[in-house]
Amino acid sequence: MLTVDNIRANLCAKYKALPIVVYDTIDSTNTQAKLSSIDQGIFVAKHQTAGRGRQGKSFYSPDSTGLYMSVVLPITPMEAYEFTLTAAAAVAAARAIENVCNISVQIKWVNDLYLHGKKVAGILTEADIDRVIVGIGINISTESFPADIPLAGSLDAENISKSKLAASFAENLFDITSSKSREFMSEYRSRSMLLGKEISFEKDGNAFTANALRIEDNGELTVLSNGIELTLHSGEVQIIL
């Protein structure tokens, strides 16, 4: 069961005393984390009524078929930017899914996790004065999705422990961020589903196609379009099949 005690039991000793909150239903774990005063902790929900994604998009969060959680980190927004926090969170999530579910997922730049060409998890990082909140939604056993998100999928993992998955993600994220090292970027690259592929994107209001060349240590994506290298700092890219 997804409970505070079960999550705490799966955390290593140095994180066991951290605040943990589990909701049956909540608007958004990121919203609740921002309303709290803690500088480090874990917020988890079995169901979200107003889950949020990047660029103002919603994140479909049906009851009991996914893991919806936020981790509060005691770092400043500038430290998060310099550390490439979103990439770190993607690696932490991929490790957790692999460790707990025995499923290997790929990372779609910047912050989505994919399995068999379908998005199974999304990450939203939000700054809050002197701390940062990392939210993640993982579709574990969701079977149907709204028509407006055709590329959504799930891990199809029925009998995994959500408490163990929550603890593993949080622990990996705490470990990576406390290390103050970008060594995780090599793993981010190795899990990338973009590198070497032809992609499409918009930049400055114009549509481009390009080859994805490399991901820099600061998380930027370098592409080759019409013989010219371009650097993408953020935004949405699509793989051209």
Domain ranges of the chain: 4-190, 198-239
In angstroms, the CA 161 to CA 140 distance is 10
- Give the pLDDT confidence of 81-132 residue by residue, as tens digits: 999 999 999 999 999 999 999 999 999 999 899 999 999 999 999 999 899 9
CA triplet 58, 200, 237: central angle to 5 degrees?
Answer: 35
Question: Domain 198-239 belongs to what topology?
Answer: SH3 type barrels. (2.30.30)
Grade residue 148 by pLDDT with cuts at 50, 70 and 90. confident
Q: Does the pLDDT value for residue 163 go beyond 90? A: yes
Grade residue 218 by pLDDT with cuts at 50, 70 and 90. very high
Q: Does the pLDDT value for residue 56 go beyond 70? A: no
Grade residue 150 by pLDDT with cuts at 50, 70 and 90. confident
Instruction: Report pLDDT for 21.
Output: 98
Q: Is 228 exposed, middle or buried (0-12, 13-18, 19+ CB in 10 A)?
A: exposed
Grade residue 160 by pLDDT with cuts at 50, 70 and 90. very high
Reading the block at residue 232, the tokens are: 């993408």
Average pLDDT, whole number, for the chain? 94
Grade residue 55 by pLDDT with cuts at 50, 70 and 90. low
CATH of 4-190, one of 3.30.930.10, 3.30.70.1340, 3.40.50.620, 3.10.50.40: 3.30.930.10
In angstroms, the CA 207 to CA 194 distance is 18
In angstroms, the CA 59 to CA 42 distance is 19
The mean pLDDT of 20-47, rounded to a whole number, is 97
Q: Does the pLDDT value for residue 149 go beyond 90? A: no
In angstroms, the CA 100 to CA 166 distance is 10
